[in-house]
Structures are given as structure tokens and as C-alpha cells.
Amino acid sequence: MSSLSAVRLPDGYDPGRLVQLDGAGRAGIRTPRTIVTTDPGAASAKLSSERIIVKALDRHFVETEPGTMEGIFPEIVDGAGAGSLAVRDAPVIVQEYVDHWAEIRVYYLDGEIRAFRVGKPSPEAIWRDAASVAVSPTSAPEPVAEAVHRLAGLWGLRYGAFDFLLTGDGPVFLEVNPDGDWRWFESKAGVDDVSISALSLVRTLHRQATRKGPATIDLAGFLVLGTGRACQAKDPAPNMDACVESDPKFLMDLVSGGLINDRDRRLIVMLARGYTTTRIAHEMHLSRYTVAERISKLLDRFACSNRSQLVAYFYAHKLLHVGIWPPGASDGVG
């Protein structure tokens, strides 16, 4: 199976689908029963499932000849009719169809988790009928968050788009795309949480890469392109790394420009009120793991050593109201 894995550049690992399923199973995470074959009919008989799903072994799009791309999308087939499926020229994945009450897409960004609930009439609808797909923000259930952290650590991923089914017996892992798009899901859900987390991740990578010299890229400006925020800026944003290091005013710019989102500010307000991680997770409908990771990121972003210092920092820069109780954000958030 390892021969089906590719190495992404620079220094990124892209585990193939069979490696993903094998690794998840070894990590104790449930996956659909799977057979790789050129004969989906025979595989269906072995699985003895009322319905099966047939998937591409690797990518959804294949260049069958120069300049011609063909899509290979998941297909649900009733078990009774699966016996008539033709033998394929190339191997495909055949899996049992797992009954579920929800499907979620989970984005992992260097420890942070952002999740979306996905409703679609068929597996291929995202590609063939995008208007029929419903996407809404949600909190990742604790078992899903644990599975994502475990798998990301197993494969050394700093970013990944994970797909899970939620069943009465717990989550079922389907696959992870280590360079999957997130803007489509954000635009459908009307949020930008993943972009904010991506900004933090790319900023960290950029700072690491340019540690020996001055930063030359305006990452904040780059990542807000196409989000509607770029046209709101009257002046070009200063270099992000330089401003985070030396210019506290940039924090105000982040808030006024929306680059620190309402969720972050609500979290800071709750810290100021003395809430525990568990209570914050309950109030914000997030997992404790996500809350803890987000606090860790904020501590790193603002060079604070603990939560109390982070709250003090926000007070010092007037991002929290002074002289009122209980604490609240200066613009009413929280």
C-alpha cells in the first residue's frame, strides 16, 4: 500500500487512499469495509451489503489523453443490481454503504479544527450539482476531533480536509485530502473561519522560512483577496510579520478588517470572565480540543505566555471594555 502514497513538495506527505484506510484502521478508527478490484460485482457479493459505493482508487479527475479530463465520481449502487456491474479496465474501490445521520467535513490546520455539516442528495453532487448541496458550520464531535488529531499526527499533516460519517456507533473515517479546497465550503456556509486559521498557519510557515531575513510578502493582503475585504482597505496593509512583531496598532487593524473574527473575540471575553476550557467549549459549541488549540494559537500570535497575560494584552490595546463587569469586547462582541 505504501507504494500508492505520493510525496508532496515541499516536505508534504500525501497518503494514498488505501494507506489512509489502513492507517485509520490500525489507529482504531472505524472505516467502511473495502475491496480494491476491477470486478465491482464480485466485490459486492463478498461485502454482502444492501448497497455499495464505487469510488476512484486515486484522484477524481483523470487526463485520459492530453488536454482531456474525465471525472470519476463516487456512485451508490443497490446490492441487488451490483451483480450486473461491468468489469473495469482499471481497479476501483468498492465499499459497503454506511448508514449515517450526518456527514461532516473537518479542516485541520496545524492543530486547529473547523468543521462543516454537509447535506447532499448524492455523493457526486458537490461536483455535478453544487446548488443542491447544503453546508453549515458545526462543532466537531469529540470522537471526530480526537480521530483527526490522531491521523494528522500519524501522517505528519499540518493541513488536511477530512471527511467523516456520523453514525449511531460513532464516526466513520472516509478520507483526507492534504491540499483540499476550503473556500467553496466557506462561501456556502457564509463564514471565513478556515481562512483565518489558514492565515495564521501560512504566517507561521512564512516566518519560519524568512527567519534569516526580512519578510517581503504581505500575507494578510494575499489571503483576503477574493473575500470582499480587499476592496474595503483604503491603504495597502503593512507587512504582516513586521507588524505583529513591532506595531500593536496592527491588532486594531486586524479587528477592524475582520482578520480576528468574532469567535476569537468571544473566546477572549470568556477567558476574561474566568470560564474554563470545558465551559467555553459548551458555550461556543466546539470541542475542548479545538478551544485549547485556539487559545494556544492566540497565545503564540500575541507573544503571551499564559491566559491571564493574553487577557491583559487585549485590555491594554482596548479590545476589551475597561471599567465594566462582566467583561465584554470593545465593539460589543460577547
Q: Does 38 lie in the same domain as 25? A: no
pLDDT at 233: 41
What is the Cα 163 distance to its own chain's centre?
A: 9
Q: Does 248 lie in the same domain as 175? A: no
Q: Does 182 lie in the same domain as 301? A: no
In a domain, 333, yes or no: no
Q: Does 20 lie in the same domain as 109? A: yes
Q: Does 300 lie in the same domain as 225? A: yes
Q: Does 175 lie in the same domain as 42? A: no
Q: Does 121 lie in the same domain as 50? A: no
Kindly report the CATH number assigned to the domain that includes residue 163.
3.30.470.20
Q: How many CB atoms within 10 Å of residue 191? A: 19
Determine the Cα–Cα distance for residues 193 and 186; give it in Å rounded to an integer. 8
Residues 302-313: pLDDT tens digits? 778 888 888 887
Q: Which domain holds residue 222?
A: 193-197+213-316
Model confidence at 129, pLDDT cuts 50, 70, 90, reads: confident
Burial class of residue 279 (count of CB atoms within 10 Å of its CB; 0-12, 13-18, 19+): middle
Q: Does the structure show a pLDDT above 80 at 318?
A: no
Model confidence at 5, pLDDT cuts 50, 70, 90, reads: very low
pLDDT at 137: 92
Q: Does the structure show a pLDDT above 50 at 43?
A: yes
In a domain, 8, yes or no: yes
Q: Does the structure show a pLDDT above 50 at 18?
A: yes
Task: Tell me which residue of 282, 22, 20, 31 sits closest to 169, measured CA to CA.
Answer: 31
Q: Please check whether residue 135 is in contact with residue 115, taking contact to mean a CB–CB distance below 8 angstroms.
A: no
In a domain, 325, yes or no: no
For the chain, what is the domain count?
3
Q: Which of 82, 97, 112 is the last residue of a domain?
A: 97
What is the Cα 148 distance to its own chain's centre?
A: 10
Name the most confidently modeled range: 24-38, 46-60, 115-129, 200-214: 24-38
DSSP 263-282: HHHHHHHHHHTT--HHHHHH
Q: Please check whether residue 215 is in contact with residue 241, taking contact to mean a CB–CB distance below 8 angstroms.
A: yes
Task: Tell me which residue of 124, 39, 121 sits closest to 73, measured CA to CA.
Answer: 124
Q: Rounded to 5 degrees, what are φ and ψ at 13? A: -105, 130
Determine the Cα–Cα distance for residues 327 and 312; give it in Å rounded to an integer. 12
pLDDT at 15: 83
pLDDT at 256: 45
pLDDT at 232: 44
Q: Does the structure show a pLDDT above 80 at 333?
A: no
Q: Does 302 lie in the same domain as 223? A: yes
Average pLDDT score over residue span 10-26: 82
Q: Please check whether residue 61 is in contact with residue 71, taking contact to mean a CB–CB distance below 8 angstroms.
A: yes
Q: Does 137 lie in the same domain as 26? A: yes
pLDDT at 106: 96
Kindly report the CATH number assigned to the domain that includes residue 244.
1.10.10.10
pLDDT at 76: 87
Q: Please check whether residue 166 is in contact with residue 104, taking contact to mean a CB–CB distance below 8 angstroms.
A: yes
pLDDT above 70 covers a percentage of the chain that reads 70
Q: Which of 50, 79, 97 is the last residue of a domain?
A: 97
pLDDT at 161: 95
Q: Does 174 lie in the same domain as 38? A: no
In a domain, 204, yes or no: no
In a domain, 218, yes or no: yes
pLDDT at 57: 81
Contact residues for 80 (Cβ-Cβ < 8 A; gap 6+) = none
Residues 78-91: pLDDT tens digits? 877 777 788 888 78
In a domain, 305, yes or no: yes
Write down the mean pLDDT value for the chain. Answer: 76
Type of residue numbered 272: A
Q: Does 60 lie in the same domain as 16? A: no
Residues 219-269: pLDDT tens digits? 555 544 444 444 444 443 333 333 333 333 444 455 444 446 667 778 888
Q: Does 286 lie in the same domain as 218? A: yes
In a domain, 207, yes or no: no
In a domain, 82, yes or no: yes
10 upstream amide cis, omega within 30 of 0: yes
Helices (H), 123-182: 125-128, 142-155
Determine the Cα–Cα distance for residues 167 and 54; give it in Å rounded to an integer. 20
Residues 144-193: pLDDT tens digits? 999 999 999 999 898 999 999 999 999 999 999 998 889 889 989 988 88
Determine the Cα–Cα distance for residues 75 and 96; give it in Å rounded to an integer. 12
Which residues are bridge partners to 182 per DSSP? none
